[in-house]
Amino acid sequence: MKFGKEFISQMVPEWQGAYMDYAYLKTLLKEIHLFKFKTKPPQSTTNAQGLTRRLTLYRAFSGLTQRITSPGISSNTNDIESQPILVNSVKKSDGEFGLETMFLMTGDEGGEYELVYFRRLDDEFNKVIKFYRGKVDEVMKEAAVLNKQMDALIAFRIKVDDPHYEWPDSAREMTRLASDVAASTASLAASTPGMKASKLKPMSNMRTKRPAPLEILNRVTINNTLETPRSSIRGILNVPNQTELKFSKENLSKVEDQLKSAFVEFDHKLRLLKSYSFLNIMAFSKIMKKYDKITSRYASKSYMKMVESSYLGSSEEVTKVMDRVEATFIKHFSNSNRKKGLSILRPKAKRERHRVTFSLGFFAGCTITLIFALVLLIHARHIMNKEGQRKYMVTMFPLYSLFAFIVLHMLMYAANVYFWRRYRVNYPFIFGFKEGSALGYREVLLVAFGFAVLALASILANLDMEMDPKTGDYKRFTELLPLGVVLIAFFVIICPFNIIYRSSRFFILTCVFHCICAPLYKVALADFFLADQLTSQVQALRSLEFYICYYGSGDYAHRDSSCSSSEIYNIFHYIVAIIPYWSRLLQCLRRLVEEKDGMQGLNGLKYFATIVAVTTRTAYSRSHSDEWYKIAWVASGVAAASGTYWDLVLDWGLLQRNSKNRWLRDKLLIPRHSVYFGAMVLNVLLRLAWLQTVLDFRVSFLHKETLITIVASLEIIRRGIWNFFRLENEHLNNVGKYRAFKSVPLPFHYDEDEDKQG
């Protein structure tokens, strides 16, 4: 793999604008090379070039000649005239220090091209070093905060173990996260231009101002970061939360879990910051070697010498903090068990396993085979012409269509994951997955096809046992097959054992619980994203309602559904359809109150309009009256228009008239603009699927239940397309703000005022 592609693949996606623009610098070098090629085309033939190369090799091998040193790296470094460049450290107008390269060969032919190259090279280096310095300052401040948190944790542990314990004078020192870093930073600042003394002062005085070990408990209170319905209600009623320290083992366990998460996230940030430094130094080295090769000026050594001696190449704060984080975590969170501590602190990324690929291929093949078998069975036995065909479509088809909706949605999500990875959308960070627990598209496809095989096998068994006269006495058992599939899927989802991607299953269950309990939980992106998925699964929720009615009333015993004549069933037919939209409405209201964002209020109105539209369309489908027909048309038109505008403009960030990409947005991940316009057109067309309900389309060769399933599937496909562009826009917003890490709440609140008074 070429370095340019490898460089891009190893970037932190949200920081890509802060890396050295390697591709642009390569284009400048190509212009220099093109100019030199036009002015001095190659004159020698292949044989002459080969002869020159052979002579050179023989002379070098014989030892008769010494290696010719370049002007930029000659032994006489004081001879400025022999050097192509002169690199200096200068103080810029904003007070920051940076590099400024003076190109000394401007009089040469084409020197203006090289002058432009070095100016842009300096701009890129100064951008990189400014970003790196800012991030290092951030992590040093976080290290100081974590240091105080650890002091409080150790004191908390002592009080839990022995409430009457008094700290002896001979053991007053505790493990400190940033103590060693303070001394190294101070010594490094003397040799690093631009490192301000004011930034070092709080860290160098950290040891002297630190309170006595147990006295720190007098300055801290508990942060109630755990979000519960009770805490939400207390917040609405302005009831103060309990913040005093209660020295119990239960509270100690909660504090330790929170600090573990904080350390894991902090170490992840340090590792990415170290990688950022390494990759950029490597990029500057590579681009300068390309410059040497094109111009034969040999300027890379003098330039890289300055780069390596700069703050980017010589600072050791990040490395030292990483060592202290590792040592502290292993000592205090894994009982000095290094292997166990590192497995928690730095979990290994999941490897693509061959058995996943093999199993995926096996289940995919089984799915295709079962579909062909199902089609052949229906055709060979002329099932569609049987007398019980209509009854089967009214009763069994809604039961099995639930499986089709679930599998289709998983297939769309697998496609989303594939394209998110292809275009480097950091979906694990956006959703908040634990590191290493995010499923790839192969794993999602494996689950989808595994469930499809189970469902198709159930359908085939149902049809075969129904048509076989030998099994006619077991009709009641055959009707229970779809219920068995649902129960199996349900027990797999809630299974507490570490099988079938337990972390992902529990993550989904948590989000579902938050959606059900809205607005009692703080709304995270994963919560409202899942609620949006459920709004496209209204027909699946109605199928679940039919399951409850069909099997709860005992109609399955004689395959004759009386659900449509039940008043309670008809009422819940309305309620079930609006539950996902109601959940989204409550989530919007929660965000409106918390974030004071008026757009959330408008978003809530959009979902309210959809609730009205769904309700009126359901009422019309039940009554077919002219009044409901008109109301359904108006309500559905308003909901479709507002939903389409919100999707394209706010969720996708498109339709920006003044953008450099006409009617799109300034930054795009997909190079082909036609993809975005095609997606917008599809979104509009698929949103009009509700017309089938109002216009009451009839297709002669399709049963009504089949048509309903097709329309519901179109909405799932629309949601799948929406998913990609929604997360693309979220990712680009994170990129614009360099937001690559989630904020982890800390357990203790430290009173800084008492330190200042002391």
| Span 62-71, pLDDT tens digits | 444 344 333 3
Chain Cα centroid distance, residue 24? 28
Residue 294 lies in a domain: yes
> Residue 178: pLDDT above 60?
no
> Residue 434: pLDDT above 90?
no
Residue 18 lies in a domain: yes
Which are the contacts of 149, defined by CB distance < 8 A and separation ≥ 6? 259, 262, 746, 747, 748, 750
Pair (386, 449) in one structural domain: yes
Residue 42: pLDDT band by 50, 70, 90 thresholds?
low
| 728-738 average pLDDT score | 89
What's residue 234's pLDDT?
Answer: 64
Closest CA to 579 of 621, 531, 622, 618: 531
Residue 315: pLDDT band by 50, 70, 90 thresholds?
confident
pLDDT digits (tens, 9 = 90+) for 683-731: 999 998 888 777 776 777 778 888 889 999 999 999 999 999 999 999 9
CB crowding 101-132: b at 16 or more within 10 Å, else e: bebbbeeeebbebbeebbeebbebbbbbbbbb
Pair (507, 591) in one structural domain: yes
Cα–Cα distance measured from residue 478 to residue 466, given in angstroms and rounded to the nearest whole number: 7
Between these two residues, 245 and 730, which has the higher pLDDT value? 730
Cα–Cα distance measured from residue 337 to residue 324, given in angstroms and rounded to the nearest whole number: 15
What's residue 167's pLDDT?
Answer: 53
What's residue 67's pLDDT?
Answer: 40
Residue 709 lies in a domain: yes
Residue 752: pLDDT band by 50, 70, 90 thresholds?
low
Which are the contacts of 298, defined by CB distance < 8 A and separation ≥ 6? 69, 70, 71, 72, 73, 84, 292
What's residue 78's pLDDT?
Answer: 46
What's residue 729's pLDDT?
Answer: 95
Confirm if 414 and 448 have CB atoms less than 8 A apart: yes
Pair (58, 178) in one structural domain: yes
Residue 371 lies in a domain: yes
Residue 216: pLDDT band by 50, 70, 90 thresholds?
confident
Cα–Cα distance measured from residue 418 to residue 403, given in angstroms and rounded to the nearest whole number: 23
Cα–Cα distance measured from residue 687 to residue 334, given in angstroms and rounded to the nearest whole number: 53
What's residue 218's pLDDT?
Answer: 79
Which are the contacts of 563, defined by CB distance < 8 A and separation ≥ 6? 546, 549, 550, 553, 555, 569
> Residue 206: pLDDT above 70?
no
Whether a cis peptide bond, with omega within 30° of 0, leads into 519 is yes
Cα–Cα distance measured from residue 287 to residue 26, given in angstroms and rounded to the nearest whole number: 7
| 465-480 average pLDDT score | 70
**Element of type H or E holding 201:** helix 197-204
Residue 385 lies in a domain: yes
Cα–Cα distance measured from residue 592 to residue 586, given in angstroms and rounded to the nearest whole number: 10
Between these two residues, 57 and 310, which has the higher pLDDT value? 310
Structural domain of 6: 1-347
Closest CA to 588 of 603, 577, 608: 603
Cα–Cα distance measured from residue 640 to residue 688, given in angstroms and rounded to the nearest whole number: 7
Pair (509, 531) in one structural domain: yes
Sign of CA dihedral 257, 263, 266, 268: negative
Pair (412, 469) in one structural domain: yes
What's residue 209's pLDDT?
Answer: 45
Two tokens, residue 461: 């068994």
pLDDT digits (tens, 9 = 90+) for 72-85: 333 344 445 557 88
* Poorest-pLDDT segment among 308-322, 519-533, 693-707: 693-707
% of the chain at pLDDT higher than 70: 80
pLDDT digits (tens, 9 = 90+) for 647-680: 999 999 999 888 899 899 999 999 999 999 999 9
| 358-370 average pLDDT score | 95
| 255-269 average pLDDT score | 91
Q: Please return the burial class of 423, using the count of CB atoms within 10 Å of its CB with bins 0-12, 13-18 and 19+.
A: middle
User: What DSSP designation does 80 have?
Assistant: G
> Residue 189: pLDDT above 70?
no
Residue 92: pLDDT band by 50, 70, 90 thresholds?
low
What's residue 467's pLDDT?
Answer: 65
Pair (278, 358) in one structural domain: no
What's residue 523's pLDDT?
Answer: 92
Cα–Cα distance measured from residue 137 to residue 155, given in angstroms and rounded to the nearest whole number: 28
Q: Where are the alpha helices (DSSP H) in 701-749?
A: 704-736
What's residue 279's pLDDT?
Answer: 94
**How many C-beta neighbours within 10 Å does residue 158 have?**
18
Two tokens, residue 449: 């096809």
> Residue 103: pLDDT above 50?
yes
Looking at the DSSP bridge assignments, the partners of residue 87 are 101
The DSSP line for 177-197 is: SSHHHHHHHHHHHHHSTT--H
What's residue 39's pLDDT?
Answer: 78
Pair (330, 407) in one structural domain: no
Cα–Cα distance measured from residue 301 to residue 72, given in angstroms and rounded to the nearest whole number: 7
What's residue 743's pLDDT?
Answer: 79
> Residue 175: pLDDT above 80?
no
Query: 293, 315, 347 — which closes off a domain?
Result: 347
Which are the contacts of 464, defined by CB distance < 8 A and separation ≥ 6? 377, 471
Closest CA to 714 of 696, 693, 695, 733: 693
% of the chain at pLDDT higher than 90: 45
User: What DSSP designation does 562 have?
Assistant: -
Looking at the DSSP bridge assignments, the partners of residue 91 are 97
**Element of type H or E holding 98:** strand 97-103
Q: What is the CA radius of gyration of the chain?
A: 33
* Poorest-pLDDT segment among 95-104, 251-260, 311-320: 95-104
What's residue 180's pLDDT?
Answer: 47
Pair (364, 303) in one structural domain: no
**How many C-beta neighbours within 10 Å does residue 180 have?**
14
* Poorest-pLDDT segment among 238-247, 273-282, 702-711, 743-752: 238-247
Confirm if 543 and 572 have CB atoms less than 8 A apart: no
Residue 536 lies in a domain: yes
Between these two residues, 749 and 539, which has the higher pLDDT value? 539
Pair (375, 524) in one structural domain: yes
What's residue 47's pLDDT?
Answer: 46
pLDDT digits (tens, 9 = 90+) for 486-506: 999 999 999 999 889 999 999
What's residue 55's pLDDT?
Answer: 41
Torsion angle of alpha carbons 35, 39, 45, 46, nearest 10°?
A: -10
Q: Token match 């008809």: residue?
A: 570
Residue 755 lies in a domain: no
Pair (257, 373) in one structural domain: no
Q: What are phi and psi of 194, to 5 degrees?
A: 95, -5
What's residue 416's pLDDT?
Answer: 97
Question: In total, how many domains does the chain have?
Answer: 2
Q: Token match 């989802």: residue?
A: 493
* Arithmetic mean of pLDDT over the chain: 82
* Poorest-pLDDT segment among 306-320, 338-352, 606-620: 338-352
Q: What are phi and psi of 90, to 5 degrees?
A: -125, 155
Alpha carbons within 13 A on the beta-carbon side of 153: 25
| 627-644 average pLDDT score | 92
What's residue 77's pLDDT?
Answer: 43
Q: Please return the burial class of 291, using the count of CB atoms within 10 Å of its CB with bins 0-12, 13-18 and 19+.
A: buried
Query: 347, 367, 384 — which closes off a domain?
Result: 347
Query: 347, 363, 392 — which closes off a domain?
Result: 347
Torsion angle of alpha carbons 438, 675, 639, 709, nearest 10°?
A: -70
Cα–Cα distance measured from residue 390 to residue 294, given in angstroms and rounded to the nearest whole number: 77
Confirm if 63 and 151 have CB atoms less than 8 A apart: no
Pair (342, 378) in one structural domain: no
User: What DSSP designation does 85 have?
Assistant: E
Confirm if 354 and 442 have CB atoms less than 8 A apart: no
> Residue 355: pLDDT above 50?
yes
Q: How many residues does the chain have?
A: 758
What's residue 231's pLDDT?
Answer: 67
Pair (210, 338) in one structural domain: yes
**Position 481, amino acid:** L
| 587-606 average pLDDT score | 94
Confirm if 98 and 126 have CB atoms less than 8 A apart: yes
Confirm if 584 and 617 have CB atoms less than 8 A apart: no
Closest CA to 311 of 140, 179, 188: 188
Number of separate helices (H) and strands (E) present in the chain: 29, 4
* Poorest-pLDDT segment among 3-7, 323-327, 357-361, 448-452: 3-7
* Poorest-pLDDT segment among 102-116, 134-148, 487-501: 102-116
Residue 749 lies in a domain: no
How far, in Å, are 132, 580, 752 from residue 139 at the CA level? 11, 41, 19
